[in-house]
Amino acid sequence: DGGITQSPKYLFRKEGQNVTLSCEQNLNHDAMYWYRQDPGQGLRLIYYSQIVNDFQKGDIAEGYSVSREKKESFPLTVTSAQKNPTAFYLCASSPGTSNTGELFFGEGSRLTVL
């Protein structure tokens, strides 16, 4: 069953701790993305990667880091430097720049900082 899987679904973190959100896809897509969703602010791009071992900052990259060591995986680390990390995080993938552009989203990870 093809798709994009995020884990964990819910995560609680104490202030000052780093946390890593997992994103795995078996769609053989080249591009992967991380978005942050806050009420009333739509989806804001954190980082994206178009090929393995390469990634670019999005609009709100400060306090986040990513890696793309495998085509299937694009984990996001929310570091202690992120001032307001409580949010809903969505991972997405797309076939690549030569395709329709449709994003396929995971079910999201809700991070709460206590």
Partner 1 sequence: GENVEQHPSTLSVQEGDSAVIKCTYSDSASNYFPWYKQELGKRPQLIIDIRSNVGEKKDQRIAVTLNKTAKHFSLHITETQPEDSAVYFCAASDRAAGNKLTFGGGTRVLVKP
Q: Which residues contribute to the site for partner 1 (CB under 8 A)?
A: 31, 33, 35, 40-45, 48, 50, 58-59, 90, 94, 96-97, 99-103, 105-108
Nearer to partner 1, 2 or 42 (CB): 42
- Whether the CB-CB separation of 44 and 59 falls below 8 Å is answered with yes
- Pick 75 or 103: Cβ nearer partner 1: 103
- Distance, in Å, from the CA atom of 55 to the CA atom of 48, rounded to the nearest integer, reads 6
| Least distance in angstroms from the C-beta of 77 to partner 1 | 21
C-alpha distances in Å from residue 4, one per residue of 29, 53, 72, 108: 10, 19, 9, 10
Nearer residue to partner 1 within complex by CB, 50 or 80: 50
**Nearer residue to partner 1 within complex by CB, 19 or 48:** 48
- How far apart are CB 107 and partner 1 at their closest, in Å? 5
At closest approach, how far in Å is the CB of 106 from partner 1? 6
Note whether 86 and 111 are within 8 A (CB). Answer: yes
Q: Are strands 19-25 and 87-94 parallel, antiparallel or unpaired?
A: unpaired
What 3-state class would DSSP assign to 20? strand
